[in-house]
């Protein structure tokens, strides 16, 4: 009927301190607190709404006056130990997307970074002090200088910052270019990573440092110990299904980037087309699961992306048109069957009345005969 309907994924917040059990948490969107967005710290450290869930109602969402794209979100913990201290605030974002928007899912470690473990370790230090960054950069520089001297060559460049070290040593070359091309095609980016929730802000800082376009970042809603275990595929499937449900009628996913077989399984379960799942290895070579496409690098892929996304959009439009025609056919068939059933019912009623009338006259004649 044209009314706006808002649906969302879970609001994940973890405190990790049992001493905060029972503390009230108020959520502020764009700096404004909403009494309806009131949560509570549970004994296990997780924060939930009063109904025990992690999603606000549709009515509450509609009252937030969200704008398209990114909206700032602050979780403000009201507890005596946090009064007047910044530690009592957790920052996040709420992204508002339209139903017709297309979404590309991107894993981080091993997909943007060269390695799962090294990438996680290295990028986690982007928010560290400049002093630490300078020390690591000098260490890397000395290592490169020693190698060049052993080869009889002189060094001509130096690493000036930790960000440069990460870009040149721990990130797939030209991955930022691919992400920017995707963004330029008006596709929304969802960075979905099995990193622990405590590294959310550092992950955002890392993505910003390498030049990746801004997008929604969703991490595992667990502390470090639990995130390092198993269950990564189940977590990603759960998130993708929540996002898909928020779009009501159809999957919004047009592509997915990962580096593990588990990423393929999760993306397929979430509704990402198999032909648009891109798996990258440690040498930056990229392929699709069924082998339809292979690319020697992210740079090679970036040149083909506009055509690949155009083909996918045409496929989705054709599928939507086919689905609409099938739905119209079902509706017409349903109306036809309903009409036939009504006509058959009217016919039965008419025959019943006629037979009833004949039966009445027969009884009258019989009784009349007896009377005579």
Task: Give the chain's end-to-end CA distance (angstroms, integer).
Answer: 72
Residue that is written with structure tokens 């550092």 in the block: 202
The full set of domain ranges for the chain reads: 1-96, 100-114+171-362, 116-168
Q: How many CB atoms lie within 10 A of CB 133?
A: 21
Measure Cα distances from 72 to 33, 57, 92, 148, 264 in Å: 12, 19, 6, 47, 31
Closest CA to 112 of 58, 156, 178, 48: 178
Domain 1-96 has CATH 2.60.40: yes
pLDDT attached to residue 145: 44
Cβ atoms of 5 and 61 within 8 Å: the answer is: no
Same fold, 1-96 and 100-114+171-362: no
Calculate ∠ Cα 58-244-257, nearest 5°: 135
3-state secondary structure 6-71: CCCCCCCCECCCHHHCCCEEEEEECCEEEEEEEEEECCCCEEEECCCCCCCCHHHHHCCCCCCEEE
The pLDDT assigned to 170 comes to 83
Q: Are 45 and 15 in contact (CB under 8 A)?
A: yes
Q: How far apart are CA 51 and CA 56, in angstroms?
A: 9
DSSP letters spanning 303-328: HHHHHHHHHHHHHHHHHHHHHHHHHH
The pTM of the full predicted model, rounded to 2 decimals, is 0.75
Domain 100-114+171-362 CATH class label: alpha beta
95 bridge partner residues: 70
Q: Residue 324: what pLDDT?
A: 63
> In this structure, what is the dihedral angle of CA atoms 352, 354, 355, 359, given to the nearest 10 degrees?
130
Hunting for tokens 């060559």 — which residue is that?
Answer: 153
193 neighbors 256 (Cβ within 8 angstroms): no
- CB burial of residue 256 (10 Å; 0-12, 13-18, 19+): buried
Q: What is the DSSP string of 203-263?
A: HHHHHHHTTPPP-EEEEESS-HHHHTSS-HHHHHHHHHHHHHHHTTTS--EEEEEESSHHH
Q: Could you give the CA distance from residue 243 to residue 215 in angstroms, rounded to a whole number?
A: 14
Residue at token pair 């605030």: 89
User: H or E stretch including 93?
Assistant: strand 89-96
- The per-residue pLDDT string of the chain (372 residues; one tens digit each, 9 = 90 and over) reads 456 789 999 999 988 767 788 889 999 999 999 988 999 999 888 999 988 999 998 889 989 989 999 999 999 988 776 665 555 788 999 999 998 899 999 999 999 998 877 666 666 655 453 334 444 444 444 444 444 444 444 433 444 455 555 555 689 999 999 999 999 999 999 999 999 888 899 899 889 988 999 999 999 988 776 666 667 889 999 999 999 999 886 789 999 999 999 999 999 999 999 999 999 999 999 999 978 899 999 999 999 999 988 887 787 777 666 766 776 777 777 777 777 777 776 666 665 555 555 554 444 444 444 433
Q: What are the CA-CA distances from residue 244 to residues 89, 197, 203, 204 (Å)?
A: 30, 22, 24, 23
pLDDT of residue 219: 93
Q: Burial level of 93, CB count in 10 A (0-12/13-18/19+)?
A: middle
State residue 44's pLDDT score: 87
Category of 107 on φ-ψ map: left (φ > 0), alpha (ψ -120 to 50) or beta: beta
Written as six digits, the tokens of 119 are 């990438």
Is 71:58 a contact under the CB 8 Å cutoff? no
Cross-strand partners of 196 = 220
Neighbours of 45 (CB within 10 A): 16
């Amino acid at each position: 009927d044209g009314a706006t309907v808002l649906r969302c994924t879970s609001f994940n917040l973890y405190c990790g301190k049992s001493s905060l059990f029972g503390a009230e948490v108020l959520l502020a969107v764009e700096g404004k607190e909403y009494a309806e967005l009131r949560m509570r710290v549970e004994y296990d450290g997780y924060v939930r709404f009063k109904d025990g869930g992690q999603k606000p109602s549709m009515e509450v969402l509609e009252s937030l006056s969200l704008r398209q794209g990114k909206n700032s979100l602050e979780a403000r913990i009201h507890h005596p130990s946090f009064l007047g201290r910044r530690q009592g605030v957790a920052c996040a974002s709420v992204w508002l997307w339209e139903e017709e928007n297309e979404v590309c899912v991107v894993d981080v470690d091993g997909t943007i970074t060269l390695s799962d473990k090294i990438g996680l370790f290295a990028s986690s230090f982007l928010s560290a002090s400049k002093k630490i960054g300078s020390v690591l950069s000098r260490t890397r520089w000395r290592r490169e200088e020693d190698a060049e001297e052993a080869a009889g060559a002189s060094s001509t460049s130096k690493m000036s910052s930790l960000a440069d070290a990460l870009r040149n040593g721990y990130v797939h070359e030209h991955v930022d270019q691919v992400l920017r091309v995707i963004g330029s095609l008006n596709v929304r980016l969802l960075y979905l990573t099995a990193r622990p929730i405590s590294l959310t802000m550092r992950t955002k800082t890392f993505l910003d440092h390498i030049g990746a376009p801004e997008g929604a970042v969703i991490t595992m809603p667990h502390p470090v110990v639990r995130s390092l275990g198993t269950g990564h595929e189940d977590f990603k499937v759960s998130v993708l299904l929540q996002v898909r449900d928020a779009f009501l009628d159809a999957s919004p996913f047009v592509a997915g980037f990962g580096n593990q077989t588990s990423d393929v399984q999760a993306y397929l379960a979430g509704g990402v087309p198999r032909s648009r799942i891109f798996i990258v290895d440690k040498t930056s070579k990229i392929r699709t699961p069924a082998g339809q496409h292979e690319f020697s690098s992210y740079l090679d892929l970036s040149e083909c992306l506009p055509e690949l996304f155009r083909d996918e959009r045409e496929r989705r439009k054709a599928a939507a048109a086919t689905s609409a025609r099938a739905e119209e056919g079902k509706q017409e068939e349903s109306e036809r069957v309903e009409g036939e059933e009504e006509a058959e019912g009217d016919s039965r009623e008419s025959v019943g009345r006629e037979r009833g009338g004949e039966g009445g006259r027969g009884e009258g004649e019989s009784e009349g005969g007896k009377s005579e």
